[in-house]
Amino acid sequence: MAEDLQGDETTASTKNDGMGKRLDAAGWGLFFIWVGAALLLDLSRGVGLLGVAVIILLGQAARMYFALALEWFWIVVGLIFLVGGFWELYQVEVDLAPILLIVAGAALLISLFIRRKSSAE
């Protein structure tokens, strides 16, 4: 009986790996099509960045729909592209790069304290 359960887990894991690879391939395909279309149509940089953000975030939504593990790195990257796209569209006067660097540094420092607290328990 335990062997049957282990076999089912292995089959489910293999299916999840296959679905994850297919979603990744679809995401990369959409990315290249979008970038090519954006360049061909001479779309603004902001629209291009927003399109990339949508592709990345929809990929993570698909992973959630298919009960696959979310990839937090790609969620953060998608959000950065989203912010960058709106930043370009609204032509904000302040440069985005220094703000992103400050936020990244602050996040690293905060994660240091969070890890220390959880490892102390």
Instruction: Write the single-letter amino acid at 104.
Output: A
pTM flag (> 0.85) = no
Tens of pLDDT, residue by residue over 32-82, are 999 999 999 999 999 999 999 999 999 999 999 999 999 999 999 999 999
Tens of pLDDT, residue by residue over 77-100, are 999 999 999 999 999 999 999 999
pLDDT at residue 121 greater than cutoff 70: no
Cα 6 to Cα 40: distance, rounded to the nearest angstrom: 51
Query: Is the separation of the CB atoms in 60 and 70 below 8 Å?
Result: yes
pLDDT at residue 116 greater than cutoff 90: no
User: Of residues 13 and 21, which shows the higher confidence score?
Assistant: 21
Which residues, 6+ apart, have CB-to-CB distance to 23 below 8 Å? 59, 62, 63, 66, 68
Residue 44, phi-psi category: left (phi > 0), alpha (psi -120 to 50), beta (remainder): beta
